[in-house]
A = this chain, B = another copy of it.
Amino acid sequence: MSGSYNLIRLHGFGDIAREHRRSRPHLLAAVDGGTRLTYADFDRRSTRLANALADQGIGEGSRVLWLGQNSHRILETLVACAKVGASLCPANWRSSVEEVKALIADYTPHLVIWQEAEVGETMRAARADAGGDARWVQHDLDGPDGYEALIAAGDEQDRDLRISPELPLLALFTAAFAGKPNAAMLPHSTLMYQNLLISRGQMIDERSVHLNSGPLFHIGTLLGTLATFHLGGCNVYTPRVDARTLLELIQAEKVTHAFVPAPTIAQIREINKDGAYDVSSLWSSPAAPEWKFPMCMPADAPMLRQMGGYGQSEVMGLISFLFLGGTGAGRVSPMAQVALLDDAGREVPAGEVGEFAVRGPLVMAGYLGAAAENERRSRFGWHLTNDLGRRTEDGSLIFVGPKMAMIKSADENIYPVEVEACIRQHPAVADVCVIGVPDPVWRQNVKAVIVLKADASVGEAEIVEHCRARIASYKKPKLVAFVTALPKIPGTQFNDRKAIDAAHGGGGYPSFG
């Protein structure tokens, strides 16, 4: 209606920090090692960083890449990007040099913030080869070329740019269905709607203390981080997962919410079996109970509710929730529509299996620079998830499985098609199928079933090494089998994965239903 009111109604992700500075100036925003920042500090620093970015020409549509472990600086940079209209990609720091190079080539960042500790060798190698004219800033470096110097270079005056909440803000690499990961571009409004839902499901408010123990390049951790920030709670950071460090932080900061990968829970329980650490702010019993959902809060934690559901990075993590009611993966989010479609885009009859198709502001704005994949995934007026599911008679969602296979190792998603594409590059390989084999600790191990070319010869170690050099180490096969032929789905060139699983011990694939 009124032009002034259109401008007044804008609320970007940066505006959250602005209001926290007014509403919660003294509350803690971040604890990270020796660093403790109030919301007044947080907004001041993110404003300085936004101004420093703007002074270097970073503005609407620009891209910033984070190549490091967990740090309070990720959220600070996200908010600075929000204030100038740029997007931030927190990349997987466990990537290989080749993967980082591919990621840089795909995301084409204008600024890279990278870390020396633990991952410096990989990042420097990728930088040397990557080309491009991005500026590189080291976040764990004191001195004129470091992150703190960049912040100090920005002036304190908030320029208060009015940013459309429909601009992409967060970029998450995900879903290697096309053989390589793509960056799902998630707008400000997507994050904000999801924050309100997550805060509802996990009862997050300004008294919440959220331990960022899972990786911040993973939507599962980010959901809690972003909702805690939005509601004015405190985010506690640790660069990587270490069970004893987590216990110390839970006790010291009176952590109320946490994302802890499933294998770490067992370690925590073992270390704390005598109750030496006070974890009563998070768990009802000193030896932490098993969590029902790896991405979720413990069902019996004080003030928390069970956090099950269905989702993927492309729809901001979760678009159905058990806390909303129902069974299986629960009811669809108040900010989404879900239809079950057949391959022609028609809704399948009640109770039958179809592909989950999603609409609404929780859906990404598309993959960056992937026109063909965007077209393939956005048909019939819906985002196609590539996941199969059905509805119960009462309307709840049931997750059936990926339309294409996925392997889960700890909390990492591994797409067979990506590993297969890598192995196929080996000159000795004629055909390959990558499957997941159940593992008591890691949930699944990657196994490659390989057909060699006539007269070719190669050993298991060479295949593993071939992969290690090209993709993230956790994606490489731990097991290799050589066969003379792979069974195919009748009438197609596609591997019959069911038959191959049966013959080679495959199973334990992830299911959220």
Binding site for B on A (CB under 8 A): 1-2, 4-11, 15-16, 18-19, 22-26, 162, 165-166, 168, 185, 187, 190, 192-193, 195-197, 199-200, 205-207, 230-232, 323-326, 331-332, 334-339, 358-361, 363-366, 368, 371, 374-375, 378-379, 381-383, 391, 394-396
Contact = CB atoms under 8 A, between A and B. Distances in A.
Contact of A19 (B337, B364, B375): B337
A334 B391 contact: no
Which 7 pairs between the two chains have the least Cβ-Cβ distance?
A2-B366, A4-B378, A11-B360, A1-B366, A196-B196, A1-B365, A23-B395
Contact of A395 (B25, B332, B375, B394): B25
Given A22-B332, A200-B196, A378 B324 contact: no
A378 B1 CA distance: 12
A199 B230 CA distance: 17
Contact of A1 (B8, B185, B196, B230): B185
A192 B366 CA distance: 23
Contact of A331 (B232, B332, B374): B232
A63 to B, nearest CB: 12
Given A205-B324, A365-B1, A337 B11 contact: yes
A124 B15 CA distance: 49
A7 B381 contact: yes
Contacts of A381: 4, 7-8, 162
Nearest to A378: B4
10 contacts: A4-B375, A5-B363, A5-B365, A5-B383, A10-B360, A22-B337, A24-B325, A24-B331, A24-B395, A232-B324
Given A23-B332, A365-B2, A9 B360 contact: yes
A378 B394 CA distance: 47
Contacts of A331: 23-24, 206, 232
Nearest to A379: B4
A306 B360 CA distance: 31
A18 B196 CA distance: 21
A306 to B, nearest CB: 13
A436 B375 CA distance: 63
B359 A206 contact: no
A22 B338 contact: yes
A6 B365 contact: yes
Contacts of A361: 9-11, 165
A396 B19 CA distance: 11
Contacts of A205: 323-325
A205 B333 CA distance: 11
Contacts of A323: 205
A5 B366 contact: yes
B366 A19 contact: no
Contacts of A360: 8-11, 15
A195 B193 CA distance: 11
A42 to B, nearest CB: 14
A224 to B, nearest CB: 15
